[in-house]
Structure 1
Amino acid sequence: MTKLKSLIWLAMICSLLISCEDLLEEETFTVLSPNDFFNTGDDLDVVLNSVYGELRYSDIKRDGVTLQEVNTDIALERGGGIFTFNEPIEEFTWTSSHQWIRSMWERRYRTIFRTNVVLDNAEGIEMNESRKRETIAEARFLRAFNYYLLYDLFGPVPLITQSQTTVTDRPARATEEEIVSFIENELISAAEALPVEPRNSEYGRATKGAALGALTKFYLMTKRWQDAASSAQEVMDLGIYDLFTQGGRTELFSPDNQRDNEFIFVAVMSDNPDDNTGDGWLSHVVPRGYQWQYPPRVIFAAEYKIWSAFLELFEPEDERLNAFLFEFVNEQGETIVLGNDNARSMKFPEYPSQGISRSSDDFPFLRYADILLSRSEALNEINGPNQESVDLLNRIREAAGVSTFTVNDFPGKENLRNFILDERGREFHTEALRRQDLIRHGKFIEMAKERGKPAMDHQVRYPIPQTEIERNPNLTQNEGY
């Protein structure tokens, strides 16, 4: 594809975001000349902000809970047309033709293309050097973050680092060493150049903490324990993040607190009820007859639910239980008890400004609680039960209003490892982290088999979409598919 065609294509498909009043806001263009692009730093931001837009439009139920939790011990889904897509994920019968697996691949590479457009043009623009450096770092972070998401799902994938390609370009998959090295080095470089506070005070932009936090999670995923512990400490040393402890743990996700300094990197959802760009999570969760706090709202036939066995991990006094709906009063004034395997996650609550079927909740990719538990886990893997690991664990538990522990409560590394895994489940349900956590702990397939699923070892990775295999003869499929 020529550069001109790339620009025209980009202009046609993007709903582009422009900063306004310290929030990434949307500005839509219908007719653009190629001469309008890449003359100033603002032009770079137009394209770069569209990457944030792609993250913003990520679907919690599809890209998050379906692909990352419906195949774990946390969630199930019943009813509605989307059960067609959820059932093979829950039952471990998914194939390379699954539409939502394909759409995840396509979305990630679409955003990678846009970051490459920025990086291919940034050096040639006359602009403030400090701003240029930060813009390049931002693009490198966003590109690496999308490759991190791809690696989590598919393992090594083709590394595409430039926007100008031709129809004959058919890149093979990178090796394990190549993809790991690329993501690590890009995140390190981004962290060195990104500011501690978001550029121009625009909430949602990448920061040094976001890059170091993503690096921490990547090291954890690849079991580089010392590196994970060190990068987590770097995030902590920035001194700008903390745990939310006011008004109950689940209030962190309320409209009043969605910009709390526990959030490190989020997908910013629109607060405008007319643009229909929020997430449809709640409309796919609440049961029939549920009374909305801010009507009118629509309830779809699909219903995401929580396994009762997962809820048994919580102590009765745990404030995080307030995130679940166990019963409700219907239109007739009757109290409906939801019962076994039927509770609902209301972690992302109603917003007064949301649309009829869309929520305005920002979706967290990285929270400070994750950094603390990541360092706790890494230090335990290095040293076994130790005071700092337990202290970090206790900080999370104190915030949730539950009992704390001493080092002596954990006789060995495996005991503390298992407890941290359970704590991560209690803390991060509905945030698309469970599958990755279970895989890292070697329990993803084991626990699926315990639930009676025909899970096989190779299913720790999803298949490369069949459409991509057909387009690119140099792509090889993941083992077992």
Structure 2
Amino acid sequence: MKNLKFPTITILLFSSLLLYACDSFLETGPPKDQVSAENAFQDPKSAEATILGLYSNMNSFNNQFNSGLLAILMASTADDYYSAFTSYDEYKLNNITSNSSYLDRLWIQPYGFIGHANKIIEGIEKSSLPEKVKKQISGEARFARSFQYFYLVNLFNKIPLVKTTDVDEANSIGQSTMEDIYRFLVEDLNQAEADLEEQYQGSERVRPNKGTASSLLARVYLYKGDWENAEIHSTKVIEDSRYKLLDNLNDVFLKTSQEAIWQIQTVNKSTAGVNTWEGFTFVPANPTARGYYNVFESTMDSFEQQDKRKQDWLKPYTIASGTYYLPYKYKVRTNIGNPVTEYNMVLRLAEQYLIRAEARLKLNKKALALSDINIIRKRAGLQPLVEPLSDEQVALAIEKEKHLELLGEWGHRWFDLNRTKRAVTVLSQTKGNFTQDDTRIPIPQSILLSNPQLKQNDEN
């Protein structure tokens, strides 16, 4: 299959796209043009449409949770880049309240996708489809569910763990601890890893395979502090010959990238010629136009002189107040009438090397950790780090390489600084009066009003 096409009217069974705020975080009633659960799993083709519909809804519209919004907000709360638009100032200035703009989307939309995945899992288990089909579809749904939960728990700490398709029950579930959520993620992702096929479904990497589940598992184990399993699962992916670090940085974010472990194909319903919503958002409308997303000055100062990532993944522009750099990993704004060349990169191989480097350092394998760091540095055109280095120096080197390598991607910097308890130390240097209280992302007030079982996130 040369190109995976998502259907215009998808055969779905989820409750709501939840692209905008609603009275409860899971709503009832499928849209009228959608097929009921009873008919969704009668044959492999209709079952496949349910999972394709989930991916389609995750990336159909601009500035939603999985289509640029999470990246923009978390890049601003950290020190990746910030927006010139005042609607994002609360995130840039770390003055986020339970009524801040966009915050409800960070809660509502992931739970909508989780509800969709839950219905697929339940429906596929009750079906009489061939076992191979059931495993693949169920594995993809479990992966997608885990993916959303990973971000929810790292944003809000204590969240409801919803596994039911009963909406009334779901809307009355209390909060689980981060430990409980991670325990669930390990279980669900291990099941997905076991069920998914080794090969991708089709010639592109837009439907998860076994390596996709292994990649997210490696990250989850790292966040849990299970260094041994983080090393094991990242090594699985690194040693898979399908994945390759590309020498040319300008090829990394193409839809044909061999570095891709999982990509999302944009379903363009509103603006002709979009390749990725990131490209549409960040790339100026014409070559001489100014940008509206600027990399923090402190981050620009972190790049070594010969770093190719500064040259290829950032773009300078000059206005009266000075020269600034905008994110330029995605280089296509619109491409009307021409083939799509870029897909949204969700999981890629470079992260696995950095996961393994950190895990190996924690396992007292400093030389091997340095080897992994230097693979990433070499690709960036930098000289290798050499002994003698203390464990603390190597840890800071991993932190720096992860920051610059994954700059602006999926909130990595914000989550890493918080899980390693480095946020205050690092961000107070960039943002001035940054305190531990500023690391807390509150649960939206509208959500608290919808479910009396929920309490505000008071952890940081």
Quickly name the TM-score band, shorter chain normalised.
0.7 to 0.9
Match of 1:69? 75
Aligned-partner Cα distance in 1 for 2:237–2:147: 17
Q: 1:396–1:169: structure 2 CA closer, same or farther, 3 Å change rule?
A: closer
Match of 2:8? 27
> Is 1:314 matched with 2:292?
no
**Structure 1 residues 144-195: Cα deviation after superposition (integer angstroms, max 9, x where no partner):** 1111111121123111112123278500011333211101110111111111
Which residue matches 1:267? Answer: 264
Residue type at the aligned position of 2:308: E
1:211 aligns with 2:213: yes
Superposition pairs for residues 167-178 of structure 1, below 5 Å? Answer: 169-178=171-180
Match of 1:52 in 2: 55
Q: Does 1:347 align with 2:329?
A: yes
1:355 to 1:419, Cα distance in 2 relative to 1, 3 A? farther
Whether the 8 Å contact between 2:82 and 2:295 is mirrored in structure 1 is yes
Q: Which runs of 5+ in 2 are unaligned?
A: 11-31
The CA deviation string for residues 9-68 of structure 1, in whole angstroms up to 9 with x for no partner, is: xxxxxxxxxxx7442423325735536433223222222112211332473785233321
Instruction: Measure how far apart 1:272 and its partner are.
Output: 9.0
Q: What residue in structure 2 maps to residue 441 of structure 1?
A: 420
Structure 1 residues 231, 458: closer, same or farther in 2, change over 3 A?
farther
Aligned to 2:385: 405
Give the CA deviation at 1:277: 6.4
* Match of residue 393 from structure 2: 415
Q: Take 1:196 and 1:259, find their aligned partners in 2: how far apart are those partners?
A: 18
Aligned to 2:347: 366
Identity %, equivalent residues? 21
Letter in 1 for 2:393: N
Query: Alignment partner for residue 45 of structure 2, among 28, 38, 42?
Result: 42
In structure 1, stretches of 5+ residues that fail to align are: 1-19, 293-298, 328-335
Report if the CA contact (8 A) 2:280-2:333 is conserved: no
Q: How far apart, CA to CA, are the structure 2 residues paired with 1:425 and 1:342? A: 19
Q: After superposition, where does 1:150-165 map in structure 2 within 5 Å? A: 150-165=152-167
Residues 182-224 of structure 1: CA distance to partner in whole angstroms, max 9, x if unpaired?
Answer: 0111011111111122124453001111111001111222222
In structure 1, C-alpha distance between the alignment counterparts of 2:189 and 2:150, rounded to whole Å: 10
Aligned mates of 2:39, 2:195 — CA distance in 1: 28
Q: Could you say what secondary structure the match of 1:206 adopts?
A: coil
Q: What are the within-5 Å matches in structure 2 for residues 385-396 of structure 1? A: 386-396=366-376
Compare 454-463 and 107-116 and name the one that shifted more.
454-463
Alpha-carbon shift at residue 276 of structure 1 (Å): 6.9
Work out the number of aligned pairs and report it: 432
Deviations 1:362-410 (A, max 9, x none): 22221101001110111112216x22111111111111111112232x2
The whole-number CA distance in structure 1 between the counterparts of 2:320 and 2:227 is: 41
Alignment of 1:271-290 (within 5 A): 279-282=276-279, 284-286=281-283, 290=286
How high is the TM-score relative to the length of structure 2?
Answer: 0.85
Report the CA distance shift for 1:306/1:355 in structure 2 as closer, same or farther (over 3 A). farther
- Structure 1, residues 205-263: CA drift from partner, whole Å, max 9, x if none? 01111111001111222222222112111222333211011xx323322xxx4322211
Q: Is structure 2 residue 175 aligned with structure 1 residue 182?
A: no
1:60-109 per-position Cα deviation (integer Å, ceiling 9, x unaligned): 78523332111222212214xxx22x101111111111231211211101
| Alpha-carbon distance between aligned partners in 2 of 1:137 and 1:172, rounded to the nearest angstrom | 26
State the match for 2:20 in structure 1: none
- 8 Å contact from structure 1 (residues 250, 319) kept in 2: no
Q: Secondary structure at the match of 1:199?
A: coil
By how many angstroms is 1:352 displaced? 6.4
Distance 1:202 1:350 in 2: 19
Aligned counterparts of 2:291 and 2:241: Cα–Cα separation in 1: 42
Change in 2 beyond 3 A, CA 1:479/1:252? same
1:291 aligns to 2:281 (yes or no): no
Aligned to 1:25, the other structure's residue is in SS state: coil
